[in-house]
Each structure stands twice: as C-alpha cells, then as structure tokens.
Amino acid sequence: MAAQLRYVPSRAARHLVAGGSDVVGLTFPSIARLPIGELMSTDWYSQVALTASQAAFEHGGALTLLPPFVETMNLMKFSLRGVVVLEPTRGDLRIEMLRQCAIPYVTMGLDPGHPDVFTVTPDTAHGIEKLLSHLRAMGARRIAVLSTDSGWHNEVVATEAAREWAIANRCSLDLRTVALVEQDTRAGIVGAARAAAYDLLTGDEVPDAIVGLFEDFGIGILDAASELGLRVPADLLVAQDVDGFKAQHSRPPITALELHASEQVASAIDLLISDSPSSITVPTTLRIRESSSR
C-alpha cells in the first residue's frame, strides 16, 4: 500500500522506527600535522564544536567529536545517527568510510567528489569580491593573495573569485600558495605565512595589499611587515578571509570576513536531523578594521 501511495517515510520517522541513536558525530579535517588540540584552540573550530553541541541538544540528541579517521577504524561502534563532515576534500577517507558504512552525513564545505550531498557553505565568492573591492577603494592596485595547499573547496572558490575580480577590475593580482603539510603547530602556520609575505614584500613587484586565506595568516603578514619596517595600513593593507579573536585583537586589528560559523554548523545539524530539502549558503559579513582603513 505504501508503495502504491508513493509514500516515503521522513528521516525522523525512519529513525524512530529503527530505534536508532540520537548521537551526531562531528569530524574535523586534517590540517597539516596539527593535533586535535591545536585545531580546537582556533576560534573557528572551537566555535563550531560548541555550536554543534548546542544544536544537537536542541534536537533532543547529543554530539560526539570523532577521532581522526584511519582505515581500521570501526565507525559502527559509535552508534551514530549521522555525521557533520568539516571541509571535505577529493578522495577524503572520512567520506569513503561513511559511505561504506551507510552512515548519513552532511558537509560544511562542498564535497568535490560527491557534489549532490547536502552541504552548508559560506558565500565565499561574494565575500572575496566585497573584500577586494574594499581594498581597491582604499587605494590598493597590486594585491597579493596567500592561499594554502589544503584542497578545500571554499579556498578554491576564493582564489577563482579573486582571479575573476582582478580581471573585471583591471587590478594586478599575485596568487601564492603557502605549503602547510609539514606544520604541526599554529605558530608554524603563522611562520609559513610570514615567510611568504616577506618574499612578496622584498620582491620586484611589491604588493600594496596582502590577503590571507587562512585564520592565522593575517598575523604572519603583520609580522613580515613589522620586520621590514612597513606601516600597516599606511604602507601595506592587510586582510584575511576568516575572522577570529586574534584578528580582532592584533595590533592593528585585522580586516576579515565573518563566515558565521555558528549559523553554518547549526544549519548542518538541522540538515542532518530534519528533512530540509536542499543545501544552504550562508552570507558573509565584511568586518573592516584598522589594518585596511586609510
């Protein structure tokens, strides 16, 4: 009869009939060699973990922070209702293992290998356009962008948006990739950004603005400018694509994009537990501060 009526039980109904778990898993990406404690010390990931817990509680469930995935890991022992996967990459072991175990999941950041999976993403392209347009309005004509080798889709979107913006606005753009694969501390990541910014600022075509596409990159850029005796913002404009405590309280405070981590992860939990019909894009907010204000 159900088949004749084309009835498809909701996710909540299937869960109740199956007598399933109310535990939602959260899995962090692998960033270089950073241990989980280093990731949790960042504003972004600590905020995501806290909000995910609160969102799971509001749905009558609980949240567990999953350990790093390894091929021998038994996911079934966690009795998961579903998992929120942060920043998947192509060929991501976490995705493959979840699919093999038939565990439902949603992603924060598009899964490039499975673009049909429900996802929550920030409106990165428009955010980067707003940021670069602000720098141009402040007098920047040679802009450098420091990205990473993470392979995250949002970073790919950011660099493509920067390229398109530069062409449309006839602005010089220098895209540099900062290798993070060997870093095992946040201080090491800051040092890698500092070294990349130092190379830019001592090269033949010195930029008048540098944008970092990683939470701690702004601090590294400021360190390089200070080492070279450059004044920010008088001699160099500085910004980054992820806001946080360090950006807000550095000297000078750093202009950044607010990606609304809490809204993103709450939406992801809702997608996982409810029957929301589609993926979600969360708008970004440009926080203009002293590092780019003239």
User: Does the 11-122+261-284 domain belong in CATH 3.10.20.600?
Assistant: no
CA torsion 167-173-174-176 (nearest 10°) is -70
Determine how β-strand 255-258 pairs with β-strand 285-287: antiparallel
Query: Is the alpha carbon torsion for 109, 258, 193, 216 positive or negative?
Result: negative
Percent above pLDDT 90 for the chain: 80
User: Does residue 252 have a cis peptide bond before it, meaning omega lies within 30 degrees of 0?
Assistant: yes
pTM score of the predicted model: 0.89
pLDDT at 32: 76
Confirm if 267 and 107 have CB atoms less than 8 A apart.
no
pLDDT at 2: 35
- The DSSP call for residue 165 is H
Confirm if 85 and 68 have CB atoms less than 8 A apart.
no
Structure tokens at 253: 């405070």
Q: Which of 10, 262, 21 is nearest to 120 (CA)?
A: 262
- Element (DSSP H or E) covering residue 242: none
pLDDT at 20: 58
Topology (CATH level 3) of domain 124-258+287-292: Rossmann fold (3.40.50)
**Which regions in the chain score pLDDT beneath 50?**
1-19
Confirm if 127 and 257 have CB atoms less than 8 A apart.
yes
pLDDT at 177: 97
Structure tokens at 247: 């950006």
> How far apart are alpha carbons 140 and 98 in whole angstroms?
46
The domain locations on the chain are 11-122+261-284, 124-258+287-292
pLDDT at 10: 40
Burial code (b: 16+ CB inside 10 Å, e: under 16) for 171-207 equals bebbeeebebeebeebebbbbbbbebbbebbeeeeeb
pLDDT at 78: 93
Distances (CA, A) of 43 to 74, 93, 261: 30, 25, 9
Structure tokens at 112: 């490039």
> How far apart are alpha carbons 19 and 13 in whole angstroms?
10
pLDDT at 276: 67
What DSSP assignment string belongs to 90-115?
Answer: TT-HHHHHHHHTT--EEEES--TT-T
User: 54: how many CB neighbours lie within 10 A of its CB?
Assistant: 14
Answer yes or no: same fold for 11-122+261-284 and 124-258+287-292.
yes
